[in-house]
C-alpha cells in the first residue's frame, strides 16, 4: 500500500542540497504536505502515476515482500484487478510484471501521466491548498527518466501553460530534475550517489517504522 509518510520524508531528505540549513524548518502537514512557514515554502508530494499503474507497483511489492509462488501471484493479480488483469508475470531469475499497455512507448505514456497528475495538483492548489510565497510540487517518477524525456515533459508543461507551481521537483529514481515555471520551464539536474539514495531511504524508513511501532 502507498506509504504517504515514507514518500514525504524521502522527498524532504532528498532536498537537502536545495534548501540546506532551511530544511529543518519544514514540517509535515496537509494541503500541502510539507510546509515551511519561516521561509514561505510549501511542497506538495505526489507520485506521477495512474491509478492502474499504481496497482501494478503495489502488486509487485506485495508479491516480492510475501515471497508468493507463481500461481499465487496470478491469483493476487486477478483479485486486485477483478479478473481484468491483462499483464504477464515473468519469473526467470527475477520477478517482473509486464503489461501490454506499457511497451516501447512507456516513457512517453509516463510523461503524459505526470502531466495529468500535475494538472490535478494545480487545480487543488488553486481551490484547496494553502498558498506560500513559493509553491512547489514534488513528483516521484516510476521510471528513470533521462534528460530527453524531461525535455519533452518541460516542453509540454510550457505548451499547456502549467504555471500553477513555481518549482517542480521530478524525482527520477537516481536523479532529480528541478523545473522552474518562472523561467520558461527550464530545468537543472542533480544526480544522487548510491550512498545518498541509501541515506534517503534509511531516513524515511526509520521514521515510518517508528510510527508503526508506536
Element (H or E) spanning 169, and its range?
Answer: strand 167-171
Statement: residue 128 has pLDDT above 80: yes
Statement: residue 85 has pLDDT above 70: no
- Whole-prediction pTM: 0.77
Domains of the chain, residue spans: 4-50+106-213
**Lowest mean pLDDT, pick from 19-28, 30-39, 68-77, 154-163:** 68-77
For residues 59-86, give the mean pLDDT: 64
| DSSP-assigned letter for residue 41 | E
pLDDT band, very low/low/confident/very high, at 164 (cuts 50, 70, 90): very high
Mean pLDDT of the chain: 82
Other C-beta atoms closer than 10 Å to the C-beta of 93 total: 6
Higher pLDDT, 170 or 85: 170
Coarse DSSP helix, strand, coil percentages of the chain, rounded to the nearest 5 percent: 50, 20, 30
Radius of gyration of the chain (CA): 18
Burial 192-201 (b: 16+ CB within 10 A, else e): beeebeeebe
> What distance in Å separates the CA atoms of residue 46 and residue 140, rounded to the nearest whole number?
6
> What distance in Å separates the CA atoms of residue 12 and residue 33, rounded to the nearest whole number?
10
pLDDT band, very low/low/confident/very high, at 52 (cuts 50, 70, 90): low
For residues 58-84, give the mean pLDDT: 64
199: left (phi over 0), alpha (psi -120 to 50) or beta: alpha
Amino acid at each position: 500500500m502507498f506509504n504517504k509518510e515514507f514518500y514525504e520524508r524521502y522527498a524532504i531528505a532528498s532536498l537537502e542540497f536545495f534548501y540546506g540549513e532551511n530544511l529543518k524548518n519544514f514540517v509535515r502537514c496537509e494541503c500541502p504536505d510539507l510546509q515551511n512557514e519561516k521561509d514561505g515554502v510549501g511542497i506538495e508530494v505526489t507520485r506521477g502515476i495512474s491509478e492502474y499503474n499504481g496497482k501494478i507497483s503495489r502488486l509487485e511489492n506485495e508479491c516480492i515482500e510475501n515471497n508468493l509462488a507463481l500461481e499465487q501471484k496470478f491469483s493476487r493479480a486477478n483479485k486486485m484487478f477483478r479478473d481484468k488483469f491483462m499483464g504477464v508475470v515473468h519469473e526467470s531469475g527475477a520477478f517482473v510484471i509486464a503489461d501490454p499497455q506499457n511497451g516501447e512507448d512507456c516513457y512517453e505514456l509516463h510523461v503524459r501521466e505526470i502531466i495529468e497528475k500535475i494538472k490535478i495538483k494545480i487545480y487543488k492548489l488553486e481551490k484547496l491548498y494553502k498558498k506560500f510565497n513559493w509553491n512547489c510540487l514534488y513528483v516521484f517518477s516510476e521510471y528513470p527518466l533521462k534528460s530527453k524525456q524531461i525535455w519533452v515533459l518541460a516542453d509540454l508543461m510550457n505548451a499547456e501553460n502549467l504555471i500553477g507551481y513555481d518549482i517542480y521537483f521530478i524525482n527520477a529514481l537516481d536523479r532529480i530534475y528541478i523545473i522552474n515555471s518562472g523561467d520558461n520551464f527550464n530545468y537543472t539536474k542533480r544526480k544522487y550517489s548510491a550512498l545518498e539514495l541509501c541515506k534517503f531511504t534509511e531516513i524515511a524508513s526509520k521514521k515510518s517504522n517508528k510510527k508503526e511501532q508506536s
